[in-house]
A and B are shown apart, each in its own frame.
Chain A
Amino acid sequence: MRERIYRVLLWFFPGEFRTRFGPEMIATARALDRRHQSGFASLGRVFFDAVMTLYRVRQDIRAESQNIESPGWRTSMNGIVQDIWFAMRSLRRDSLFTVFVVATLTLGIGVNAVMFGIVDRLLLRGPDHVKDADRVVRFYLSTMPPGMRAFTTSGFGNVSFDVLRRDRRHFEDIAAYTVNDAVMGKGNDAREVRAGYASANLFPLLGASASIGRFFNESENLPATVTNVTVLGYHAWRTWYGGRPDVLGTTVTLGDQPFSIIGVAPRGFTGPQLGRVDFWVPINVIGERMGPDWQTTWNSQWHQIIGRLKPDATIEAASGEATEAHRRAYTGDEKYVATGRMFVARLSANDAGVEATDVTVVRWLTGVAIVVLLIACANVTNLLLARGLKRSREIAVRAALGAHRSRLVRLLLAESVILALAAATFGSVVAYGLGGVARQFLFSAVEWDAVPVDTRMLAASGAIALVTGLFVGLLPAWRASRTNLTDALKRGQREGGGQRSRVRTALTIVQAALSVILLVGAGLFVRSLWNVQSLHLGIEPDRVLVAHVHRPRLNRNPNARSFEALAVERLKQVPGAEQVSVAVGLPFGNRFTVQLRVPGMETLPRLKSGGPGVSAVGEGYFATVGTRILRGRAFDSGDRAGSEPVAIVSDLMAMTFWPGDDPIGKCIISGGDPAPCARIVGIAENTHRSRLREDPAMHYYVPFGQQVGFGGTEILVRRSENPLMLGPSVRDALLEVDPGITYVDLETIQERIDPQTKPWRLGAVAFSASGVLALLVAAVGIYSVMSYLVADRAHEIGVRVALGATGRDIVRLVFRGTIGMASVGILAGTLGAIGAGPFVEPLLFNVSGRDPWVYGIVAAVLLVVAFIAGLVPSIRANRINTLEALRSE
């Protein structure tokens, strides 16, 4: 590496030096390469050395040619150090300017540093402890169920895993895992944890090794000899076990079984995904729970399968191999699964094998961050240009005293780079504070490093700062150094270059245009969020508390009155509980469909959304969740196990199955043939099945207790205001009913929906915040340009007043400038936003990317802001003393 650095940079060295020492330097670098490791830091030193040598050798040679003593031979201060000193001194003199520029750049660099931290984890680096992550892929199966949309899943049964692993050709190895909630401990000490279930080869496949102890081995995961062993996640080990090494060999209760701790995962290890994992256990521990035929069934899917590609394998070849294996091995009943297509994709893809929404949103946020930085740059360039004008006299004096032009440019560049580096320092502090908040608020499911600022991020913000410094400084420095000597000296402080203010006007327009783009984005996302929140879901998710109760199977007494009935009775006495009910299958979490027949119909009508779905609900369910009964009746206390089978269908199902006919009194047979005919007694309004954005889906309800073929009860408590407040009393009441409860999981239905609204919340927050900041910066830009123009044209304004112009004329003159800049900015920004519209539209919710309201409001806001920014300069213009302005000539 050293050798390569010197080899490349040697090209820039003066020929004399290169021919004389080049080969030797390369040989020496090669010798050093052989002996020293090249870490990040040491390579940085090498690079610095090469660049500094290049600079100094040039200096030496120039000095020799002029036969003067070179700086740097005896004095410790060489040119660059001198420049830096000088720049710092001059920046300190102009402290207001410095503070403003550093603040603006801090904003731009800080936001980008935060985004880099997030992008680095989500896109660039992936999960920790995964070696060569770009060769690790996840398996997917894409099928086309008849009459429905194509469906892609990453869930597989054990049989798929066995087949794929046994017949692999393009993979070094294939492993399986799944991550789920589990309960650790018992009674009051119980807590919910994240359990990772993994095949034994997952860890070597990823390239991870235990930090203490060991991971489990193949024999501990073989179906015949599967063992209750567990590997602690590093975080769990530190927080719950105090990081003690003697946890090895102790036992922990997970679910209702004891597990023996055999190791601790390395710090930050989360397997092939990004969420925290507290315990790793052999995946076959849960095999039996999937039914007695779990090893061979095609009907249950609980494995995520990943593989490591061989070095020469391509994604296409690997996908082809998987499809072939799947089709050869499939022995299930579903024809569309038999012809399914398998493929593999990188770990950053989501469950459906496409880019995760988080990742898409992150891409957009990165764009926003860059726009903020651009605005900051435009603003700072503007200020530096103004400063260059003010200093033109000083610069002219320096040039007259013999300063070389390149030296002047260097001096001015040193200033802007120092400003940017200072901003990077503050930006890192901002990133430290903001980064933690942003990560927790926006991506709470991801296991982040403890500190939101690491060396990679510092290096990135340093690089951003350097580029920014050069970028903003180059134009002003070049312009300032071009100052015409005699003119500048003669003219004194007065200045009259129309060209310079044109550049500044252009920069201000750029700022205004970029602000418009950000504000339009903010408007579109806010409208989307508003549309999402006012969406009629058919339920009132923020008024329903859902209790999911974990009880050991052993405690259950089939003869006693059911736990659920007792729990409902007890919960009705909890103060604040308005309604209580139970349900098997709730909106936004219900995927139950069971076999359905309707006497008199050969084939059932189907919709794209599939279904119809089914749930079993108790008395009072509809009042509890807020679903209206359109006709007929809801279930009452007489509808239960053993009573006459009845059903309630959704409006959509009624219209699809019996168009133009009254479904009430009709009969459906749910859950297989022995089931008796259920009479339809009511029609309920439509509800969402699982997504905010979905095709309308059919649904029907059976009374709790009459369900056949599905299960998993949840207890519902309604409270109109903040139902989570009821949490503790609900938990206590349930423990009273059954003290054997291991854990009660409480959340509102809203909390189950929230992850789906995240993209819009994220977009609305990020665009609004950056839009407002951008607007402020643009306003300051307009203000400073106009103030400058007024000062610059004081003479002209004085002449105009002397010739009879009224105060109104002068104000008009100023406002023509501000409104003109704002209008051009609005126009450019609008065009830009319309151009970007088609790309954002998929992220919006029922809003067009060209929504005229949003554009109109943004334009109005910008005009108002421009007006305010122009007020002060126009007042100042009116106060110009004609006599003085003319006299200063």
Chain B
Amino acid sequence: MVKAASPHSFLPLKTDTLLILLALASGSMHGYGIIRDVEERSEGEVQLQTGALYRTLRRLLNDALIEEDLAAVDDSPDERRRYYQLTRLGREVMDAEVLRMSRLVRASKLIHAGKRPKLV
């Protein structure tokens, strides 16, 4: 699949997508692990739904933002699970999105202080 290489072509990301990328930033995980991770780190505020998660994983795989981690060992013998990890592109997209958001935050703080900053 031919894809634009620039990470900026994927922005802005939907919240779910960003949360999944952030979860995977700390290491490879399987689907259920991502749900748990997002839930724990948001203190139960965000609960990813199973269907939505796998649809997003599929898109992220197709767009090569993540890939399967074939090296990860499955800890439960009865259920074969796949582990996912970020690709270089995925990490760039995530960083770009985080940067974009932090700029927005900074800008809005300045507006709050009565200045007129550049927005993007």
Contacts and interface: CB of A to CB of B under 8 A. Distances in A.
Interface of A: 2, 6, 17, 20-21, 23-25, 27-32, 45-46, 49-50, 52-54, 56-57, 60, 64, 73-74, 76
Contact of A73 (B30, B35, B59, B81): B59
B117 interface: no
B87 to A, nearest CB: 18
A21 B57 contact: yes
**7 A-B pairs with least C-beta separation:** A53-B51, A49-B49, A28-B32, A49-B51, A21-B54, A27-B79, A31-B32
A599 B8 CA distance: 114
A53 B58 CA distance: 11
Contact of A24 (B12, B31, B49, B52): B31
A23 B51 CA distance: 12
Contact of B55 (A2, A24, A60, A76): A60
Contacts, number: 61
A64 B1 CA distance: 10
A49 B82 CA distance: 22
A73 B62 CA distance: 13
A108 to B, nearest CB: 34
Nearest to A72: B14
A53 B57 CA distance: 12
A20 B32 contact: no
Contacts of A25: 31, 50-51, 54
Q: Is the interface of A mostly helix, strand, loop or mixed?
A: helix
Given A27-B81, A64-B62, A53 B32 contact: no
A53 B55 contact: yes
Contact of B35 (A21, A32, A52, A54): A32
B80 interface: yes
Given A17-B58, A24-B81, A25-B54, A46 B49 contact: yes
Interface residues of B, number: 21
16 contacts: A2-B50, A6-B50, A24-B30, A24-B54, A27-B79, A28-B35, A28-B50, A28-B53, A29-B50, A32-B32, A32-B50, A49-B51, A54-B51, A60-B58, A60-B59, A76-B14
Contacts of A31: 32
Given A27-B79, A27-B81, A45-B49, A53 B12 contact: no
Given A25-B54, A74-B12, 11 more contacts: A6-B50, A20-B58, A23-B80, A24-B82, A25-B50, A28-B32, A30-B79, A32-B50, A46-B49, A50-B50, A73-B59
Nearest to B78: A27
Nearest to A45: B49
Interface in B48-102: 49-55, 57-59, 62, 79-82
A27 B81 CA distance: 8
B50 A57 contact: no
A658 B37 CA distance: 95
Select the residue from A17, A28, A74 with max chain B CB neighbours within 10 A. A28
A51 to B, nearest CB: 8
Nearest to B53: A28
Contacts of A17: 54, 58
A27 B32 contact: yes
Contacts of A20: 58
Interface in B25-50: 30-32, 35, 49-50
Nearest to A22: B54
Contact of A49 (B12, B30, B31, B50): B50
Contacts of A49: 49-52
A45 B49 CA distance: 8
Contacts of A74: 12
A78 to B, nearest CB: 11
Contact of B58 (A21, A28, A30): A21
A22 B62 CA distance: 17
B120 to A, nearest CB: 16
A21 B53 CA distance: 11
Select the residue from B30, B31, B55, B59 with max chain A CB neighbours within 10 A. B55
A57 B62 CA distance: 13
Contacts of B59: 60, 73
A799 B34 CA distance: 75
Contacts of A54: 51
Nearest to A21: B54
A31 B53 CA distance: 15
B103 to A, nearest CB: 19
A64 B82 CA distance: 24
A56 B55 contact: yes
B23 to A, nearest CB: 14
Contacts of A64: 62
Contacts of B12: 74
A50 B58 contact: no
B48 to A, nearest CB: 9
B5 to A, nearest CB: 16
Nearest to B2: A67
Contacts of A46: 49-50
A28 B49 contact: no
Contact of B51 (A27, A30, A52, A73): A52
A650 B78 CA distance: 86
A50 B54 CA distance: 11
A73 B65 CA distance: 14
Nearest to A23: B80
A600 to B, nearest CB: 90
B110 to A, nearest CB: 27
Nearest to A2: B50
Contacts of A45: 49
Contacts of B30: 24
Given A28-B32, A73-B59, A53 B80 contact: no
Nearest to A73: B59
Nearest to A36: B47
A46 B52 CA distance: 10
A34 to B, nearest CB: 10
Contacts of B81: 24, 27
Nearest to B34: A28
A60 to B, nearest CB: 6
A57 B31 contact: no
B52 A52 contact: yes
A28 to B, nearest CB: 4
B4 to A, nearest CB: 11
A137 B80 CA distance: 49
Contacts of B52: 49, 52-53
Contacts of B51: 6, 25, 49-50, 52-54
Contacts of A23: 80
A32 B48 CA distance: 11
B73 to A, nearest CB: 16
A57 B57 CA distance: 11
B74 to A, nearest CB: 11
A571 B63 CA distance: 96
A462 to B, nearest CB: 20
Nearest to A17: B58
B60 to A, nearest CB: 11
A574 B30 CA distance: 89
B119 to A, nearest CB: 18
Contacts of A24: 30-31, 54, 81-82
A23 B74 CA distance: 15
A6 B55 CA distance: 13
A37 to B, nearest CB: 13
A56 to B, nearest CB: 6
Contacts of B49: 45-46, 49, 53
Contact of A28 (B14, B31, B55, B80): B31
